[in-house]
């Protein structure tokens, strides 16, 4: 944001992953004191790329040569980056002209203890028709390689992609500036005959902004955007991480808790088709996710200190969890009938059942622990 940030280590954050660039061992060979420096202007993400090292292996030494680090980084960052600090600072001076792309969907504020004030954030929906967005997105997606384990760049020429970006709005010398906070990409799948199924593909909140609730704001805003469309069937996610599932649980429970079908009385009667229909029609939530919402809200409505209520809840959740175990049990039984005598089959099945009961109890306890965290967060929201 400021020229002095270049010398301030407090504005620096390191990658979580580098295996997609430097291989599974995450090693750059042939250098001493190697530093790979990538600086981004907070708003439009114009980039400065530099490499520093104290020494580099000589080709004449054992006929080995150092890894071409620069080429590896160039494969990720788009052309047009700066290599000179003065050029980069001159671009920073033009940052006052940068404005977010696309349509404003949501504005919210977060209280910052350090600054002692509320900071304003905005979420925009953009697409490749927005002037300058294609180039901006090329720079933005470079962060994926360092922070999502199985990241890949998307085909931006496919018009079915939607892009949702979070910006911080701040003032400097009386002018308004915007800083990139994070973003989400969503692909709109066609569902016969006249519907679409938006699928969340990538979602990233940059490290300096993590833990402030921006992920929940972004996901809820995206849900609300698609909820208003009569052609959307439901919203899903591609290969969701554990963190994403926890975030989605929180957002969907927050959206569903006031629906009539999730009243405490109806929750205690069990999971119903009414819940599936209402969540799908009003909030574009599919059956699988609705079931999790039901289990979380039923936990809130259940007195776990009451033996009967607790037992009823446990059996209800375990009936869902046991499905895969029963299927596996049937498959094992078929195989063993072909391979072993009947007596041994019964014995081994019994061992498997005991093990499965333990695993089932473990899964249940882990689930309840995750659900309680969602409810705690909901109580603080």
315 burial (CB, 10 Å; 0-12 / 13-18 / 19+) is exposed
Question: Of residues 26, 117, 238, 362, which has the active-site annotation?
Answer: 238
Percent of the chain with pLDDT over 90: 82
Query: What would the mean pLDDT of 198-221 be, rounded to a whole number?
Result: 96
* pLDDT score, position 342: 60
The pTM assigned to this predicted structure is 0.90
Sign of CA dihedral 42, 77, 151, 155: positive
Q: With 80 as the cut, is the pLDDT of residue 350 above it?
A: no
238 is catalytic: yes
* pLDDT score, position 335: 60
| pLDDT band at residue 329 using 50, 70 and 90 as cut-offs | low
Rounded (5°) CA angle 238-255-140: 40
Contact of 135 with 78, CB cutoff 8 Å: yes
In order of 100, 129, 234, 336, 351, the CA distances from 328 in angstroms are 51, 50, 30, 12, 14
| pLDDT band at residue 126 using 50, 70 and 90 as cut-offs | very high
Lowest mean pLDDT among 22-36, 70-84, 334-348, 352-366: 334-348
Q: With 70 as the cut, is the pLDDT of residue 349 above it?
A: no
Q: With 80 as the cut, is the pLDDT of residue 328 above it?
A: no
ω before 193 within 30° of 0 (cis)? yes
In order of 6, 81, 247, the CA distances from 2 in angstroms are 8, 18, 33
| pLDDT band at residue 358 using 50, 70 and 90 as cut-offs | confident
User: How many angstroms separate the CA atoms of 161 and 328, rounded?
Assistant: 38
* pLDDT score, position 340: 57
Please measure the distance between the N-terminal and C-terminal CA atoms of the chain and give it in whole angstroms.
31
Percent of the chain with pLDDT over 70: 91
Domain ranges of the chain: 3-95, 99-299, 321-380
Lowest mean pLDDT among 22-26, 191-195, 345-349, 352-356: 345-349
Q: What is the pLDDT of residues 243-260, one digit of tens each?
A: 999 999 999 999 999 999
Contact of 186 with 197, CB cutoff 8 Å: no
Q: What is the pLDDT of residues 156-183, one digit of tens each?
A: 999 999 999 999 999 988 999 999 999 9
| pLDDT band at residue 334 using 50, 70 and 90 as cut-offs | low
User: How many angstroms separate the CA atoms of 252 and 256, rounded?
Assistant: 6
Q: What is the 3-state secondary structure (H, E, C) of the chain?
A: CCHHHHHCHHHCCCCCCCHHHHCCCCCCCCEECCEEEEEECCCCCCEEEEEECCEECCCCCCCCCCCCHHHHHHCCCCCCCECCHHHHHHHHCCHHHCCCCCEEEEEEEEEECCCCEEEEEEEEEECCCCCCHHHHHHHHHHHHHHHCCCCCCCCCCCCCEEEEEEEEEEEECCEEEEEEEEEEEEEEEEECCCEEEEEEEEEEECHHHCCCCHHHHHHHHHHHHHHCCCCECCCEECCCCHHHHHHHHHHHHHHHCCCHHHCHHHHCCCCCHHHHHHHHHHHCCCHHHHHHHHHHHHHHHCCCCCHHHHHHHHHHHHHHHHHHHHHHHHHHHHHHHHHCCHHHHHHHHHHHHHHHHHHHHHHHHHHHHHHHHHHHHHHHC
101 burial (CB, 10 Å; 0-12 / 13-18 / 19+) is buried
CATH class of 99-299: alpha beta
Q: What is the pLDDT of residues 7-22, one digit of tens each?
A: 998 889 999 999 999 9
* pLDDT score, position 202: 94
Q: What is the pLDDT of residues 264-285, one digit of tens each?
A: 999 999 999 999 999 999 999 9
* pLDDT score, position 323: 74
Query: What would the mean pLDDT of 284-312 be, rounded to a whole number?
Result: 97
Q: What is the pLDDT of residues 46-73, one digit of tens each?
A: 999 999 999 988 766 667 788 999 999 9
Average pLDDT, the chain: 91
Query: What would the mean pLDDT of 313-339 be, rounded to a whole number?
Result: 74
| pLDDT band at residue 135 using 50, 70 and 90 as cut-offs | very high
Which residues, other chains included, contact 70 with Cβ-Cβ below 8 Å and sequence gap of 6+? 51
CATH class of 3-95: alpha beta
């Amino acid at each position: 944001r400021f020229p002095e940030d270049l010398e301030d280590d407090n504005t620096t954050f390191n990658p979580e992953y580098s295996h997609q660039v430097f291989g599974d061992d995450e090693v750059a060979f042939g250098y001493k004191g190697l530093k790979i420096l990538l600086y981004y202007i907070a708003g439009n993400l114009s980039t400065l790329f530099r490499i520093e090292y104290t020494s580099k292996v000589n080709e004449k030494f054992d006929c080995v040569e150092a890894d071409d680090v620069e080429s590896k980084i160039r494969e990720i960052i788009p052309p047009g980056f700066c290599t000179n600090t003065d050029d980069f600072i001159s671009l920073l001076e033009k940052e006052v002209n940068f404005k977010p792309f696309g349509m404003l969907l949501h504005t919210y504020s977060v209280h910052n203890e350090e600054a002692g004030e509320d900071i304003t954030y905005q979420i925009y929906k953009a697409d490749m028709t927005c002037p300058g967005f294609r180039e901006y997105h090329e720079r933005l997606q470079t962060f994926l390689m360092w922070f999502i384990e199985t990241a890949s760049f998307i085909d931006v020429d496919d018009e079915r992609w939607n892009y949702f970006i979070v910006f911080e709005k701040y003032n400097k010398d009386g002018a308004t500036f915007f800083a990139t906070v994070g973003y989400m990409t969503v692909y709109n799948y066609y569902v016969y005959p006249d519907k679409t199924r938006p699928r969340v593909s990538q979602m990233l909140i940059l490290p300096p902004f993590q833990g402030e609730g921006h992920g929940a704001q972004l996901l809820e805003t995206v849900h609300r955007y698609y909820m208003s469309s009569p052609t959307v069937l439901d919203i899903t996610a591609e290969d969701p991480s554990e963190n994403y599932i926890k975030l989605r649980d929180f957002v969907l429970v927050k959206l569903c808790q006031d629906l009539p079908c999730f009243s405490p009385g109806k929750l205690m009667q069990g999971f119903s088709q009414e819940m599936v229909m209402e969540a799908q029609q009003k909030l574009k939530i599919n059956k699988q996710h609705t079931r999790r919402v039901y289990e979380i809200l039923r936990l809130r409505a259940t007195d776990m200190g009451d033996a009967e209520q607790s037992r009823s809840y446990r059996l209800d959740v375990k009936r869902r969890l046991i499905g895969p175990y029963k299927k596996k049990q049937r498959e094992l039984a078929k195989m063993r009938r072909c391979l072993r005598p009947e007596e041994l089959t019964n014995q081994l099945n019994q061992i498997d059942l005991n093990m499965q009961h333990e695993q089932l109890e473990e899964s249940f306890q882990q689930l309840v622990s995750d659900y309680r965290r969602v409810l705690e967060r909901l109580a603080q929201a």
